Amino acid sequence: MRSFATAGRILRSDDPAAHPSRESGVNNRALNVVHVVRAIQTGGLETLVLEMCLQMQRLPGMEVHVCALQPGDELEHWDRYLGIPRTVISASERNSQLASISALARLFRRKRPDVVHLHNFLSHVNGGLAARLVGVPAVVTTKHGAGWPLVHGSSRVAGWCWRLSHVVVAVSADVQQGFQAFYGFPPGRTRLILNGIDTNRFRPVEGDREEQRRRIVGLSGSPLLGTVCRLVDGKGIRTLLTAFATVAAQAPRAALVIVGDGEDRGSLEQETSRLGLRDRVAFLGNRADVEAIYPLLDIYVQPSYAEGISLTMLEACSCALPVVATTVGGNPEIVSEGQNGYLVPPRDAPALASAILAQWKAPEVARAMGESARRRVVECFSIERMVQNYVELYRDIQAARGSRR
């Protein structure tokens, strides 16, 4: 396969040198793409795939289909996503890895995709084997975050497994560098494509926010802090609650909104009560109207311990919110310290509280940071740009493999 590296330089997705197909004439051909995910459930990866499919459906000649290896939590039944064709592997087909691979191979034979696009390692192995078995022309895998799985305890064997894809896409420079270093993966078979969000859907709103806060969130306050995530340990919500106790002591009207659900929700609600914050923290669960919640916040907080490129943080920035985030993964690729937010070490509740209070005490600075955050997202992290880069990657692989044949 043709390399996507030039003179030892890894080409970014927006580098014209990485896209010879822009003048090759193949861009007008129809494309049939099947995405494979572990499950269609509420989360950043899954939402990204569904939003990508919505955008791809709007492009002339493109067909999309989503296949899940396991049942999820009904995210695909939200009104927004009802028009996306989808398949969930049946219980009998999930009994073994061989049965799952066979089910995917049958799906690929029936759908005859030009591209199979896999998301993270489990989907990559099963979907990659099935795609190669039936001769799918182009196989792409997106690595959505850090974390380097082994196969039989070996990074070398895992590295060879990753070669089932013609190209592995990283969603941040941090993920790309870590992936290449850990697996010894050839740079010419990776591509950097930054995550993107719908900047028209996620935007600031004008008018009386207090009435909307009471009606939509059930809380009002100053500052009104918020975060959106799955409620699992790696998202750092315990650190956030500890930090918020400090903030609340200095800002008596402060309130915190937590959107999302997960296995830790019960224990987090207990921790909130233990800290005496029950009337100042709202757990809203999973919501289909997050675009209405972000603009009601004053500050967005991202306390996670690991990230790729966080969609929720991009959504918050697109709504012109200043951000306080941890210095992990791709967060520093979104937040420029002092320009559109503040960065703090993970698991450091005092530093998190201090950064939140600094924004609350300087509202004009915070407002300018929020405006800067939106400009950066519109320029660098729009979903239109992301989808364009993926489609061009599909075309590049098609062109390269056509030349090889």
Q: Are residues 90 and 216 in the same domain?
A: no
**Structure tokens belonging to residue 211:** 């009435």
Q: Which residues contact 258 (CB under 8 A, 6 or more apart)?
A: 226, 227, 229, 231, 237, 240, 268, 281, 282, 283, 284
Query: How many domains does the chain divide into?
Result: 2
pLDDT of residue 43: 79
State how beta strands 9-10 and 5-6 pair.
antiparallel
Q: Are residues 234 and 363 in the same domain?
A: yes
Q: Is residue 47 part of a domain?
A: yes
Q: Is residue 204 part of a domain?
A: no
Residue 367 is part of a domain; what is its CATH number? 3.40.50.2000
Q: Are residues 360 and 388 in the same domain?
A: no
Q: Are residues 387 and 367 in the same domain?
A: no
Give the start-end residues of each E strand in 18-177: 31-39, 62-70, 86-88, 115-119, 138-143, 167-170
pLDDT of residue 221: 79
Task: Compute how many other C-beta atoms are within 10 angstroms of the C-beta atom of residue 201.
Answer: 14
Distance CA 213, CA 358 (A): 23
Task: Compute how many other C-beta atoms are within 10 angstroms of the C-beta atom of residue 324.
Answer: 27
Q: Are residues 9 and 87 in the same domain?
A: yes
Burial string for 1-39 (b: 16+ CB within 10 Å, else e) reads eeebeeeeebbebeeeebbebeeeebeeeebebbbbbbb
Q: Are residues 335 and 395 in the same domain?
A: no
CA 400 remoteness from chain centre: 28
Give pLDDT tens digits for 189-211. 999 999 999 999 999 988 778 88
Q: Are residues 178 and 266 in the same domain?
A: no
Q: Is residue 99 part of a domain?
A: yes
Distance CA 12, CA 181 (A): 18
pLDDT of residue 147: 85
Distance CA 144, CA 120 (A): 6
Q: Is residue 373 part of a domain?
A: yes
Give pLDDT tens digits for 81-94. 889 999 999 888 88
Ranges under pLDDT 70 in the chain: 1-29, 402-405
Distance CA 380, CA 196 (A): 8
Q: Is residue 329 part of a domain?
A: yes
pLDDT of residue 25: 39
Q: Are residues 284 and 165 in the same domain?
A: no
Q: Are residues 138 and 240 in the same domain?
A: no
Check if the beta carbon of residue 334 is closer than 8 Å to that of residue 309: yes
Q: Are residues 179 and 272 in the same domain?
A: no
Q: Are residues 258 and 119 in the same domain?
A: no
Q: Are residues 396 and 366 in the same domain?
A: no
Q: Domain limits at 335?
A: 209-380
Check if the beta carbon of residue 237 is closer than 8 Å to that of residue 258: yes
The dihedral of CA 321, 327, 332, 338: what is its sign? positive
